[in-house]
Amino acid sequence: MLLNISTIVFAASITLFCWSCYGRFRLLLLGRPENRFNDVGKRIRGMIYYAFGQRCTVSHGYRFGWNHLVLFWSFMILLIANTEFLLEGLFPDFISFSLLPVSVYHPLAVLIEIASVLALLAVCIAMIRRLAFPPSYIEARSRDAFIILGLIALLMVAFFGLHASEIAQGSEEAASYMPISKFIASTVFSYVPSENMGGYISAFWWLHAIVLLGFLNYLPYSKHMHILTGIPNVFFRSLVKVNTQPREEFKKGNSFGVGKIDQFTWKGLIDSYSCTECGRCSDNCPATATGKLLNPRLVIHDIKVNLLKNGPLIAKKKDMVLPLIGGGEGSVSDEVLWACTTCGACMEVCPVFIEHVPRIVDMRRNLVEMNAKVPDELVSMFENMEQRSNPWGIVPGDRAKWAAEADVKPFETGKTEYLFYVGCFGAFDARSRKVSVAISRILNAAGISWGILGKDELCCGDSMRRLGNEFVFDRMALENIRIFKEKGITKIITECPHCYNTLKNDYRQYGLELEVIHHTEFISNMIKAGKLKLNAKDSGNVVFHDSCYLGRYNGIYDAPRNVIASVTGHAPIEMERRNDRSFCCGAGGGRMWMEENTGKRINVERVEEALKKDPGTICVCCPYCLTMFEDGLKAKKADARVQVLDLAEMVSGALK
Amino acid sequence: MLIVTCIKQVPDTTQVRVDPVTGTLIREGVPFIINPYDTHALEEGLRLKEKYGFRVAVISMGPPNTEITLKKAIALGADEAVLLSDRAFGGADTLATSQVLSEAIRRLGQKEEVAIVICGRQTIDGDTAQVGPGIATRLGYSQLTLVDRIESVDLKAKKIRVRRRLEGRHEIVEAKLPAMIAVVKEINSLRYPTVPMRLMAEDSKATLWDNKIMGLNENTIGLKGSATQVRKIFSPQRTSGEIIGDGIKDPKEASRLLIERLIEKRALSI
């Protein structure tokens, strides 16, 4: 009778679980199509490395990732044990480990015992961490977390209780392979006569059953959904760096950007299911760190809430009740969307490869392209870009003015090898023009054939794309590509990492493969090849700042450091946050053109970090960073004692 | 009820140079833009449309390529665009221009009652600020210039109340409709067109009215109808002033020299 009831309970619970999972899965199908099934071999390898190897949880110095690794692998082993438990519950007379040959059963029993102890320990550590020293970047003491941790702990207790009581009864023939259960049997249950153990066994069995079934059915409704979707999400990750945005087709009748939940691709939706709420994205986000409304974790959370709320209505073709863009839980506010610098720190540290930045830009696109809901300061900037192809609206004829101070030739088709693509800052901004002059000196010293487009150069459109103005970006890209093709330009050296990324990665979507080199790489290569002779001299404390679009976006970390070493004779001084965890200057993603009224200024935060290293010089590789650091130093009244130099200026000053 | 906004396509004057030899404007390669003041006129028309439910017509006199500018107005939300283009309209001064524009407004008014005509305060190429008042005079409309806020429009009483931005003070004025208002830039901040509207506008066409349709006396329009004749255009030579130091190469030294000079001239004292 007991088993009959259990069969019914098991069958009902498992059906409910499957139904819940199906309900969640069905909502994913509302998303737009996207191919994430290419290169399956690479995807599987990545899944093994990042998910099963837990490379992603123990990375970036997150020490508690090791606790997750232990819990993950304990779970993997316990998955076998609990599958057996569930199947045994359903078909009590046919399935049991004890039916396995002894040579398999006994080692398995030992393994499961060890896994259970480790899981219990890991859960206790997780609880203690949340209670005693909760990390600032997550809602460590959420009800969700304690329910799940409690359930796991209880499951382990029931497991040991069940086995110990079976051993005490004498009905477990593999008792000697269950050292911990055996120990409990011989201590806790030593006073209970073996004929009375039956009650304990069924009590623990039921406890185990109820907790397991409860856990199973709680999963799809909690953040622990990631147990189900995390591994698939790693499989479906982007195989290349997420450094670009998808193109849009500008046809009448199309909708642009994402303003409704079903306008995301299915990958955008499964991302939201996979969030473990570990908070690493928030921990690394420059906007979150400086008190902006944006918290990348909550953006993903809001997408999930919105999907769960609107998804079933869309499936029934009813009106949606919760706007995706607006504010409040399940809705992302305009202010949040505009706060993003697209620095990519969130994506870099996400253990399940969630793509936050493209989601944010998708929604910006909706604001700009469908609703024209644009902060005032951007309206004039957009107009300037469209009419004069630079953000300030300066007369295009002035683009070549900087060249009067340097030895520069125009690019000549068929004769010139490299185009030096100066960019808007390098051409117009008084400070950055000095960098352009420095680069031209270096190019001349390296003895290569190079030239500029002068007043015919146009803006690459990076800011427009990141700000969600894809329509104008598209036109700017097409126009630039036309010019490059017409002039036979195939090799480009850029001054700005944003131009670099756009010409290299964004324009590739238009079928244009250019050899794009950032001046940092170029200088490094030339020094290595012996074509640039430098007088290495100690220049005091040089602190180096990684530009997001060079580092995280394109993996260039060593080149600038090697160059600094060549110029000064020793490696640069590193800030605490560096390389792939570098902290944005605050200007990316079009933030350069927007007011920063909320919280602390991002550039001030970064400058304070640099000042801790007592620098004489802060070396950067990007005109945005250059501006932001100089402004930040002025704000800290440190501009008299600390100078900001572009790498090219350091090199130019050391040329023999 | 109709609002008519008058816009002009102008050469981007910051990019125009005067040929020192011939004394004419070098227009080659200079992009055309909507006269910046007129963009605010259009914006105000669109705001009144949203608030009171007017229809907005936008008219412009100019060469055929002015249609690009009119399409931009449609992308922003204008309901109708009329291009007034004819060789006979060419070379017009403000007198002749206001003649053509007011005739066009009269024609529009035959289909639908015109409540308000909105112009920018002036153009950046001519800078006369006369066309708006010219239209008001010719049509007998109330004339409200330098408007920086529309306080209210009362369609029943046919009244409009606006704020005028004068030197050092504001003036609230009430006038009868129909009225011509010429707006300053401060009246509003501009909107940005949505992509669907842009795509729609790209396929749209402005209605073309030439002088066959307009039927104006050739002696009142274009060069013939103009009371002013341009004799010469030139950049005035600077008679005084000097550049001190090199502000780009060495801004610190330049400012030091500048301060020194100002002290010398007793403009500053220590």
- Give the mean pLDDT of B135-161: 96
Indicate if the pLDDT at residue A13 is higher than 80: yes
DSSP H or E stretch at residue A167 = helix A143-169
DSSP H or E stretch at residue B218 = none
Amino acid letter, residue A224: H
A376 contacts in B (CB within 8 Å)?
189
- Give the mean pLDDT of B189-214: 94
Indicate if the pLDDT at residue A441 is higher than 50: yes
* Reported CATH class of domain B2-220: alpha beta
Verify whether the Cβ–Cβ distance B196 to A371 is below 8 Å: no
DSSP-assigned beta bridge partners for residue A515 = A491
A471 contacts in B (CB within 8 Å)?
195, 198
Indicate if the pLDDT at residue A401 is higher than 50: yes
For the stretch A336-355, pLDDT in tens is 999 999 999 999 999 999 99
For the stretch A115-125, pLDDT in tens is 999 999 999 99
Indicate if the pLDDT at residue B246 is higher than 80: yes
Other residues' Cβ atoms within 10 Å of the Cβ of residue B191: 17
* Highest mean pLDDT of the ranges A313-317, A371-375, B228-232: A371-375
Mean pLDDT computed over every residue of chain A: 92
Mean pLDDT computed over every residue of chain B: 91
DSSP-assigned beta bridge partners for residue B162 = B150, B173
CA–centroid distance for B92 within its chain: 15
For the stretch B56-91, pLDDT in tens is 999 999 999 999 999 999 999 999 999 999 999 988
For residue A142, what pLDDT is reported? Answer: 81
pLDDT higher for A538 or A288?
Answer: A288
For residue A451, what pLDDT is reported? Answer: 97
Question: What confidence category does residue A140 fall into, taking pLDDT thresholds of 50, 70 and 90?
Answer: low
What does the radius of gyration of chain B's CA atoms come to, in whole angstroms? 22
Verify whether the Cβ–Cβ distance B199 to A252 is below 8 Å: yes
Rounded Cα distance between A542 and A563, Å, is 12
Name the residue facing B191 among A372, A395, A471 (closest C-beta).
A372
For residue A197, what pLDDT is reported? Answer: 81
Rounded Cα distance between B40 and B5, Å, is 10
For the stretch A70-106, pLDDT in tens is 999 998 999 888 888 888 777 777 777 777 888 888 8
Instruction: Check CB contact of B162 with chain A, cutoff 8 Å.
Output: no
* Highest mean pLDDT of the ranges A355-364, B15-24, B231-240: A355-364
DSSP-assigned beta bridge partners for residue B17 = B26
Question: What confidence category does residue A232 fall into, taking pLDDT thresholds of 50, 70 and 90?
Answer: very high
Chain A residue with Cα closest to B34: A387
Task: Report pTM.
Answer: 0.90
For the stretch A373-392, pLDDT in tens is 999 899 999 999 998 899 99
Closest CA–CA distance from residue B230 to any residue of chain A (Å): 27
For residue A1, what pLDDT is reported? Answer: 44
Domain parsing of chain B, residue ranges:
2-220, 238-270
Instruction: Check CB contact of B30 with chain A, cutoff 8 Å.
Output: no
Q: Which residues of A96-107 are buried (b: 16+ CB within 10 A; e: fewer)?
A: ebeeeeeeebbe
Verify whether the Cβ–Cβ distance B190 to A382 is below 8 Å: no
Verify whether the Cβ–Cβ distance A405 to B12 is below 8 Å: no
CA–centroid distance for A22 within its chain: 27
Rounded Cα distance between B36 and B10, Å, is 9
Q: Which of B13, B16, B195, B255 to mutate to test the interface with A (most CBs of A within 10 A)?
A: B195
Other residues' Cβ atoms within 10 Å of the Cβ of residue A483: 15
Alpha helices by DSSP H, listed for A529-595, are 558-568
Instruction: Check CB contact of B16 with chain A, cutoff 8 Å.
Output: no
The percentage of chain A sitting over the pLDDT mark of 70, rounded to a whole number, equals 99
For the stretch A260-293, pLDDT in tens is 999 999 999 999 999 988 899 999 999 999 999 9
A372 contacts in B (CB within 8 Å)?
191-194
Closest CA–CA distance from residue A569 to any residue of chain B (Å): 29
Q: What single string gives the DSSP state of each residue in chain B?
A: -EEEEE--EEE-GGG-EE-TTT--EE-TTPPEEE-HHHHHHHHHHHHHHHHH--EEEEEEES-TTHHHHHHHHHHHT-SEEEEE--GGGTT--HHHHHHHHHHHHHHHHHHS-EEEEEEES--TTT----HHHHHHHHHT-EEEEEEEEEEEEETTTTEEEEEEEETTEEEEEEEESSEEEEE-GGG-------HHHHHHHHH--PEEE-HHHH---GGGSTTTT-S-------PPPP-S----S-TTT-HHHHHHHHHHHHHHTTSS--
Verify whether the Cβ–Cβ distance A379 to B249 is below 8 Å: no
ipTM of the prediction greater than 0.90, yes or no? no
Cis peptide leading into residue A497 (ω within 30°): no
pLDDT higher for A591 or A276?
Answer: A591
Other residues' Cβ atoms within 10 Å of the Cβ of residue B105: 23
A2-226 placed in CATH 1.20.950: yes
Closest CA–CA distance from residue B122 to any residue of chain A (Å): 20
Domain parsing of chain A, residue ranges:
2-226, 261-373, 379-654
Distances (CA, A) of B72 to A468, B3, B31, B253: 20, 17, 15, 47
The percentage of chain B sitting over the pLDDT mark of 90, rounded to a whole number, equals 71
Indicate if the pLDDT at residue A541 is higher than 80: yes
CB interface of B with A, residues 201-260, below 8 Å: 203, 248-249
pLDDT higher for A533 or A656?
Answer: A533
Indicate if the pLDDT at residue B15 is higher than 80: no
Q: Which of A258, A638, A312 is nearest to A470 (CA)?
A: A258
For residue B24, what pLDDT is reported? Answer: 67
For the stretch A197-230, pLDDT in tens is 888 888 998 999 999 999 999 988 888 888 899 9
B194 contacts in A (CB within 8 Å)?
369-372
Best CATH choice for the domain A261-373 from the list 1.10.10, 3.10.180, 1.20.1250, 1.10.1060: 1.10.1060
DSSP-assigned beta bridge partners for residue A518 = A494
Indicate if the pLDDT at residue B20 is higher than 80: no
A383 contacts in B (CB within 8 Å)?
190
Closest CA–CA distance from residue A259 to any residue of chain B (Å): 14
Indicate if the pLDDT at residue A473 is higher than 50: yes
Name the residue facing A395 among B15, B189, B192 (closest C-beta).
B15
- Give the mean pLDDT of A311-327: 91
Closest CA–CA distance from residue A576 to any residue of chain B (Å): 34
Name the residue facing B190 among A251, A370, A379 (closest C-beta).
A379
